[in-house]
Chain A
Amino acid sequence: MQKLFAVRSLTSSIFKKHYRHAAAAAFSTSLLFDDTQKQFKESVAQFAQENIAPHASKIDRSNYFPEDVNLWKLMGDFNLHGITAPEEYGGLGLGYLYHCIAMEEISRASGSVGLSYGAHSNLCINQLVRNGNAAQKQKYLPKLISGEHVGALAMSEPNAGSDVVSMKCKADRVDGGYVLNGNKMWCTNGPIAQTLVVYAKTDMTARSKGITAFIIEKDMPGFSTAQKLDKLGMRGSDTCELVFENCFVPEENVLGKEGKGVYVMMSGLDLERLVLAAGPLGIMQSCLDVVLPYIKQREQFGKPIGEFQFIQGKIADMYTSLQSSRSYVYSVARDCDSGAVNPKDCAGVILCAAERATQVALQAIQCLGGNGYVNEYPTGRLLRDAKLYEIGAGTSEIRRMIIGRELFKEQ
């Protein structure tokens, strides 16, 4: 059998063959998934570990996706982008549970790729699926699902983050369409997207009822992107400011109805929070993937540090944080698939998973000690990536407000 391993490692380097994490054996997900879902998860895990994980470190250091391989196309070929899109456009016609599974495994391989993937496949593609008319879906979905085009979504502005409804980006009605003026901020995939869902105010006086959702194309005159942001984490997941200067958008690119954009936005946010909540799950899993083998190899005082109670306490906490967050996320995903979308729980899952992920990543650094503080090890990147999820898709504070407010209203 040893000969097999030696040969296998040779062919592994030549052929990039099966590379399953030994740590994957440690985590029982039998509670959560049926056989098909388990197969799906293993398949995506294998794909992500072989094709995405090897690039993760370089993506973080260079703040760019790899040049020698087109990850968007690769993920498109593996049918990952259109998980919730109808089959007629090239999608898989599955639900949020499967989307969360894919999101978790991609995020486990690389947090940045996971975030960009989530923005592309859920924020853009899924919003088009849910709100687009037949013509819009036919025009935009096939290329987005194949990975030829990248999608993005923009609602926040430099002065409208948590208070997104106070956005100032204007859409003035003109003959045949609208003219957009204003800026959008923190747009994931902004620099590279061909298709963007953008929210703007068609009626500046009507507060939330004045928002309309538009489909923007990269080449529309008057639309440009300002330079890429230099972020703490999720580096390589390009984020930038969008600039609209008298950008004409034709009538047929209104997504949903004029003045009804807030429904598109808020209902989209629920599902965005659900699917993105699988991002921190993947990061937590990645932390354990790094820590568990390390504490077996690293010896101090004559034995592996994994034999000491303090370390065992830490990994127990990491494990239970992951498993409990996971159970919450996938249970809510199941509910959403059967039509019961509860904003409290959609906010709850990402609130829970994101905060736990930051703590798990901190503990991962601690378990590695001095090595955890060195950038040669991935734990620093895992922490920096995890932190984003406490902020994007509604900050933890906003999430708490949503849940608390709803609970109080229901009394």
Chain B
Amino acid sequence: MRTTTSAASRETASMRIMVAIKRVIDYAVKIRVKPDKSGVETSNVKMSMNPFCEIALEEALRIKESGRASEVVAVSVGPAQCVDTLRTGLAMGADRAIHVEFPGTLYPLSIAKILKALVDAEKPGLLLLGKQAIDDDCNQTGQMIAGLLKWPQGTFASKVVLDEENKVATVDREVDGGLETLCLDLPAVITTDLRLNQPRYASLPNIMKAKSKVIKKLTPQDLNIEIRSDLEVVQVTDPPKRKAGVILSSVDELIDKLKNEARVL
């Protein structure tokens, strides 16, 4: 499926895709807040790859399988156990992985800075991320790294079409008003939304093959990055319990409540 006629297509046929993935609490787990309100309970809790990151990795694998990329590199920043998530990525089909180990709290700006250093070193033609992580729902990393790299960004992607001849990506974005279609020059940052694809299972032969794939270990110091936390978590609490509804007897009563209790009028 690879066209080898023009120099441009030969270049994109050797395009590398980098996918940033995050290890989060599994979406099916019931979250409990720690008694000291400093955060949520993470010990003895099942952790998995962030679902949107899975979708990003799946898209990268599909692009590679269609002949438009030669290598998929999975990267993750976090504690030692991130290796498990990277192994899942390798079992899905990524060629190799990079783990930047840091045991403390990480915020999107720090991640973006680390990713920039990795992008500068690896020179991918495309950086894919999930639109947000299901633990903090920040929805910032993709946008921040696009800014740091000065790359175009297509966020909330529900469809990605790569044109290797002209080195552009056409991205359909899910926005409040509907669907917006952007044309991005490569290299670019794309963040993935739910409807982009359905990630594959890690097949059993691939799980076995992943054992011999390489996970490179780095630290933020190796990349000359100092992790600074400009935010401090003061308190984490459960949302207030839902109160029972009230049946009202008239529209006047409704308006009164909306005005004086809910204060939305």
Which of A4, A22, A83 contacts B28, CB < 8 Å? Answer: A22
> Which residues of A have CB within 8 Å of B137?
1
Report yes or no: B204 in contact with A20, Cβ–Cβ below 8 A. Answer: no
Contact A92 B84 (CB under 8 A): no
B91 adjacent to A4 (CB under 8 Å): no
Q: Residue A36 at the B interface, CB < 8 A? A: yes
Chain A 70-84 interface mask (CB, 8 Å, partner B; 1/0): 000000001110010
Interchain CB contact under 8 A, B204 and A25: no
Residue among B87, B134, B201 with the highest chain A CB neighbour number at 10 A: B201
A227: Cβ under 8 A from any B Cβ? no
**Bound-complex Cα distance A94 to B211 (A):** 14
* Those of A1-57 within 8 Å (CB) of chain B: 1, 4-5, 7-8, 11, 15, 17-18, 20-22, 24-25, 28, 35-36, 39-40, 43-44, 46-47
- Across the interface, do B203 and A79 meet the contact criterion of CB distance under 8 Å? yes
Q: A25-B29, A39-B202 are in contact. Are A1 and B134 (CB under 8 A)?
A: yes
Chain B residues, CB < 8 A from A25: 26, 28-29, 45-46
Which of chain B's residues has its CB closest to A80's CB? B204
Total contacts A-B at CB 8 Å: 66
> Taking the nearest CB of chain B, how far is it from the CB of A147, in angstroms?
14
Q: Who on chain B is nearest to A4 by CB?
A: B134
B176-212 Cβ-contact flags toward A at 8 Å (1 or 0)? 0000000000000000001100110111110110110
B88, CB-defined interface residue at 8 Å: yes
Q: How far is the CB of B52 from chain A (nearest CB, A)?
A: 9
Indicate which residue in A17, A24, A92 contacts B208 across the interface (CB closer than 8 Å): A92
Which residue of chain A has its CB nearest to the CB of B198?
A: A15
Q: Once the chains are docked, how many angstroms separate the CA of A17 from the CA of B91?
A: 18
Let me know if B201 and A47 touch, CB within 8 A. yes
A46–B201 touching, CB < 8 Å = yes
List chain A residues, Cβ under 8 A from B207: 36, 39-40, 43
Q: Is B30 an interface residue (CB 8 A)?
A: yes
- Complex Cα distance, B133 from A1, in Å, reads 10
In the complex, chain B residues whose CB is within 8 Å of the CB of A21: 28
Q: How far is the CA of A8 from the CA of B28 in the complex (A)?
A: 11
Contact of A43 among B84, B134, B201, B211 (CB under 8 A): B201
CA distance A244 to B246 in the complex (A): 74
Q: CA of A24 to CA of B26 in the docked complex: distance in angstroms?
A: 11
A15 contact set on B, CB distance < 8 A? 198
> For A28, what are the chain B residues with a Cβ–Cβ distance below 8 Å?
44
A92: which B residues are within 8 A, CB to CB? 204-205, 208
B51 at the interface (CB under 8 A from A): yes
Known: A35-B84, A44-B204. A17 touches B30 (CB 8 A): no
Instruction: Give bound CA distance, A17 to B46, whole Å.
Output: 18
Contacts of A35 in B (CB 8 A): 84, 87
Q: Within 8 Å CB of A5, what residues of B?
A: 27
Chain B residues with CB under 8 A of A22: 28-30
**Given A4-B134, A25-B29: A43 touches B202 (CB 8 Å cut-off):** yes
**Nearest CB to that of A102 among chain B residues?**
B204
Q: Is there contact, CB below 8 Å, between B208 and A36?
A: yes
A1 to B134, CA, bound (A): 7
Closest residue of chain B to A11 (Cβ to Cβ) is B194
Which residues of the other chain, A, contact B84 by a CB distance below 8 angstroms? 35
CA distance A92 to B208 in the complex (A): 9
> In the complex, what's the smallest C-beta–C-beta distance from B188 to chain A, in angstroms?
25
**Residues of chain A at the chain B interface (Cβ within 8 Å):** 1, 4-5, 7-8, 11, 15, 17-18, 20-22, 24-25, 28, 35-36, 39-40, 43-44, 46-47, 78-80, 83, 92, 94
What would 14 A/B residue contacts be, using CB atoms closer than 8 Å? A1-B134, A5-B27, A8-B194, A18-B27, A22-B30, A35-B87, A39-B91, A39-B202, A43-B203, A47-B201, A78-B203, A78-B204, A79-B203, A83-B204
**Ranked 3 nearest A-B pairs via Cβ:** A25-B46, A79-B204, A22-B28
